[in-house]
Chain A
Amino acid sequence: MAASDPPPTHATPEHCVSCGRLTSECPGCGRELDPPHFCATCGTRLAVLVKPTGWRGRCKVHGEVAASDR
């Protein structure tokens, strides 16, 4: 994560990262080999960049909330 990115939030995830619903309504519906598509903190749809060798998800409120280099 770059130094300019916002500090990671330590709040308990409240939203399913695959459908955006509250975790009380969806304990996890993610399919194999799907990156997260929703912010765990606020449930907003993420702008996801998938590259051959990595991916990252950016929330318009919380910045880059998820990333992997594979």
Chain B
Amino acid sequence: MSLTSDQPVALTTKPGPARDSQPPLDPAEARLALRNAEQALLDDRRLLTADELAVLARVPDQSVPSLAALAHEVRLAWCGPEVEVEGILSVKTGGCPEDCHFCSQSSAFDTPVKATPFLDTDEVLAAARETAAVGASEFCIVLAVRGPDERTMQRLLDLVPIVRDETGLNIAVSAGILTDEQARRLAEGGVHRYNHNLETARSFFPQVVTTHTWEERLDTCSLVRHYGMELCCGALLGMGESVDQRIELLTQLQDLDPTEVPVNFLNPRPGTPLGEAQVTGALDAIRWIALFRLALPSVILRYAGGREITLRELQALGMTSGINALIVGNYLTTLGRSPEDDLQMLADLKMPIGALSHVI
């Protein structure tokens, strides 16, 4: 690709706003694109094509509220008004052998995060009970590993039914790349949903991860679906990927058809190769939340990491731009805003809390 001198040069270590290969639409073109998308999604009830998404990605900034309003209507029409609330817990933190350039838990980088072993069952249970007490229906047990070894599998298979039965929560797990047999055992062991993010487009992935491939991630996602677990497959925006690559990721997610897509925005982590990256702008974040909903109308689209620093006081706007789920409270190694603030936001928006599953 050639870059002219007035374009920002996107280095992996210091990405700015997503590069676009084409100029924004003019207002009339934007209105037409929005009308066409409305017709497709609300009247014809069909998915948008990559070309249609690429046009919508180019609406000018002043049309982003209209894009968001359409995404909200699409979410209500395809998913209903409920919002799913989830808590996540890192039960084995840091020391991961993989080199995901955004991650403070990789042992490849000198970050402040200290590696800690698998938490005791009592600690996991206490965290799950506290999560249930704030109204969550889903609890995700997360491990910083390439994939689970046999000891980890045994711990997970012990833990999942205990936490589920003690709290009534649906239990999700995120433990990296799985073998066929591991996927089957986790499904049989009561794992309701398995998280494995594609993170970014296939064409951009090698720039941010070198220790495993995008295809390996896709294989695990396919195994999760094959064995009947719900697939949670998220994205991380703001790593230096282009607009075209974001569209590419959306079409790859359309093909994969996950139950849930958590949308993360890069929160630059000290000591990682992306540690000094620019944070995604708030309006850009709203634009892409809306585009995710328009590309994936039936999915559970979850607010995940980075929303606090990216959106700041616009967090309620995301809820009316296509989001219908959120991670409540803190994240794996970083803090979120208080659960009370999120619950108040949902009450103010008159959005009921409920468990969701794939709706078509």
Instruction: List the interface of chain A (C-beta within 8 A of B).
Output: 18-20, 29, 31-35, 37-38, 45-55, 70
Contact partner of B328 (CB less than 8 A), chosen from A18, A31, A35, A52, is A52
Q: How many inter-chain contacts with C-beta < 8 Å in the A-B complex?
A: 80
User: With A18-B112, A47-B116 given, is the CB distance from A53 to B339 under 8 Å?
Assistant: yes
Identify the closest chain A residue to B335 (Cβ): A33
Cβ–Cβ contact A55 & B112, under 8 A:
no
Among B302-348, those with CB < 8 Å from A are 308-309, 328-336, 338-339
Among B67-81, those with CB < 8 Å from A are none
Cβ–Cβ contact B334 & A33, under 8 A:
yes
Chain B residues whose C-beta falls within 8 Å of the C-beta of A50 in the assembled complex = 89-90, 330-335
Cβ–Cβ contact A70 & B130, under 8 A:
no
Inter-chain CA distance A51–B113, complex, in Å, is 15
User: With A52-B330, A53-B329, A53-B330 given, is the CB distance from A34 to B123 under 8 Å?
Assistant: no
Cβ–Cβ contact A37 & B131, under 8 A:
no
Chain B residues whose C-beta falls within 8 Å of the C-beta of A20 in the assembled complex = 112
Cβ–Cβ contact A52 & B309, under 8 A:
no
Identify the closest chain B residue to A19 (Cβ): B112
Interface of A is mostly: loop
| Interface size in chain B (residues, C-beta < 8 A) | 33
Instruction: List the interface of chain B (C-beta within 8 A of A).
Output: 87-90, 93, 112-114, 116, 119, 123, 126-127, 130-131, 133-134, 136, 267, 270, 308-309, 328-336, 338-339
Chain A residues whose C-beta falls within 8 Å of the C-beta of B331 in the assembled complex = 50
Contact partner of B112 (CB less than 8 A), chosen from A45, A52, A70, is A45
Cβ–Cβ contact B335 & A53, under 8 A:
no
Inter-chain CA distance A49–B270, complex, in Å, is 18
Identify the closest chain A residue to B333 (Cβ): A50
Identify the closest chain A residue to B268 (Cβ): A31
Inter-chain CA distance A31–B113, complex, in Å, is 14
Cβ–Cβ contact A54 & B130, under 8 A:
yes
Smallest distance from the beta carbon of A31 to chain B beta carbons, Å? 7
Identify the closest chain B residue to A36 (Cβ): B112
Identify the closest chain B residue to A38 (Cβ): B112
Contact partner of B114 (CB less than 8 A), chosen from A33, A46, A53, A70, is A46
Identify the interface centre among A31, A32, A38, A51: most chain B CB within 10 Å of its CB: A51
Identify the interface centre among B88, B127, B328: most chain A CB within 10 Å of its CB: B127
